[in-house]
Amino acid sequence: MDALTCLLCLALGCLLYAVIQFVRFLKADGDLTLLWAERFGSSPESNLRGSVVWVTGASSGIGEELCYQLAKLGASLILSSRREAELLRVKKRCLEISSLEEKDLLIVPLDLTDLSTHQAATDKVIKYFGRIDILVNNGGRSQRSLFVDTGLDVYQGLIGLNYMGTVSITKHVLPHMIEKKRGKIITISSITGLIGVPLSTGYAASKHALQGFFNSLRIELGPYPDIAVINICPGPVQSKVVENACTEEFVQSVGAKTDQSHKMATDRCVRLILVSAANDLKETWIADQPYLMIYYLWQYAPTWGWWLTQKAGQKRIQNFKSGIDADSTFAFSKKTS
């Protein structure tokens, strides 16, 4: 083989490799570090078994599914949210699908916006289990309304719930982790914690605030290398988040159920959250395409990212105004849950 043929073969090999990697990227549903960790890193089964995990927002959606998957892993659970009847339902199901016993599950009803109750709730958990290995800051609410139509109460409410509620629980739990010199603080942020999204100005602001808070806290916790601060940024996932989203007033919810089948299945999102937790990944992006590409563009080629979100954003507003799910026209394929 002469030098030219060798060079041609090498170039073809490189091209083929690039095409394969591109196709893999098109099929990816998480950032590349996360997918690497899923394949080669610690598994949730080996890393999380036997942990004591406090999940806020455990009565629905991502939090509910987290409880089921953690229960199957043998983690003891503290289930919190406002609706006690729903927490009892989730607890019952956890007992049915796992080898956990009644004593392994504690229900602590909690309103994240009522900061004055968070110390007592934390004391109750510590008194019962003696420790909190993992805090999952998951409870929260989204928004579907344009800024020009929206009252300031929405902005106060979303910061109060998504940001202050999360900071407050973390404030009470962290000293116990510092005392033990270990723990994981997992916060379900959002793609809107990283990029701008129309119809969600207040929600995006609250999630951006969480990103800034936890990225700074992680640095402060440098002297405690076994306390991990993990920010999870999902794109659209099947849950009741749209139904529960506030509109022009904080007390008003979207209410209507819209088709969510184009969004990532809840169980897949939760599996990737657990992989992130098992591997102490600082920030993970969990989303199908085309959303995953948007995270990468905003991070590495923001001018293109802004251009694309400007175009897609107008479509999102149109979708919402016409009564369909704002994100329904972007998905490449339908998902199953």
Ligand X SMILES: NC(=O)c1ccc[n+]([C@@H]2O[C@H](COP(=O)([O-])OP(=O)(O)OC[C@H]3O[C@@H](n4cnc5c(N)ncnc54)[C@H](OP(=O)(O)O)[C@@H]3O)[C@@H](O)[C@H]2O)c1
Q: Does the annotation mark 203 as catalytic? A: yes
Q: Give the residue, chosen from 51, 59, 247, 319, that forms a contact with ligand X under the rule CB under 6 A.
A: 59
**Residues of this chain, 148-167, that bind ligand X according to CB under 6 A:** 161
Q: Is 230 helix (H, G, I), strand (E, B) or coil?
A: strand
Given strand 283-286, what is the order of strands in its sheet?
A: 105-107, 76-80, 52-56, 134-137, 183-188, 227-234, 283-286
246 near ligand X, judged by CB under 6 A: no
Q: Give the residue, chosen from 112, 154, 174, 326, that forms a contact with ligand X under the rule CB under 6 A.
A: 112
How many C-beta neighbours within 10 Å does residue 10 have? Answer: 10
111 near ligand X, judged by CB under 6 A: yes
- Backbone φ and ψ of 286, nearest 5°: -120, 110
Q: What is the DSSP string of 120-148?
A: HHHHHHHHHHS--SEEEE-----B---GG
CB 68 to ligand X: min, Å: 13
**Residues of this chain, 73-92, that bind ligand X according to CB under 6 A:** 81-83, 86
Q: Give the residue, chosen from 33, 42, 47, 113, that forms a contact with ligand X under the rule CB under 6 A.
A: 113
190 near ligand X, judged by CB under 6 A: yes
Q: At which residue do the structure tokens 């116990």 appear?
A: 176
**Which helix or strand (DSSP H or E) is residue 305 part of?**
helix 302-321
Q: Per-residue x/- marks for ligand X, 199-238, CB under 6 A? A: -----------------------------------x-xx-
Distance CA 13, CA 35 (A): 24
- Backbone φ and ψ of 259, nearest 5°: -60, 125
Overall size of the chain counted in residues: 337
Select the span of 109-117, 145-153, 246-254, 270-278 touching ligand X (CB under 6 A). 109-117
Selecting among 155, 203, 291, 295, the annotated active-site residue is 203
CB 21 to ligand X: min, Å: 27
Q: What is the DSSP string of 171-225?
A: HHHHHHHHHHT-EEEEEE--GGGTS--TT-HHHHHHHHHHHHHHHHHHHHTTT-T
Select the span of 12-20, 59-67, 292-300, 304-312 touching ligand X (CB under 6 A). 59-67
The residue (of 43 and 244) whose beta carbon lies closer to ligand X is 244
Residues classed as catalytic: 203
Residues that bind ligand X (CB under 6 A): 56-57, 59-63, 81-83, 86, 110-113, 138-142, 161, 188, 190, 234, 236-237, 239-241, 244
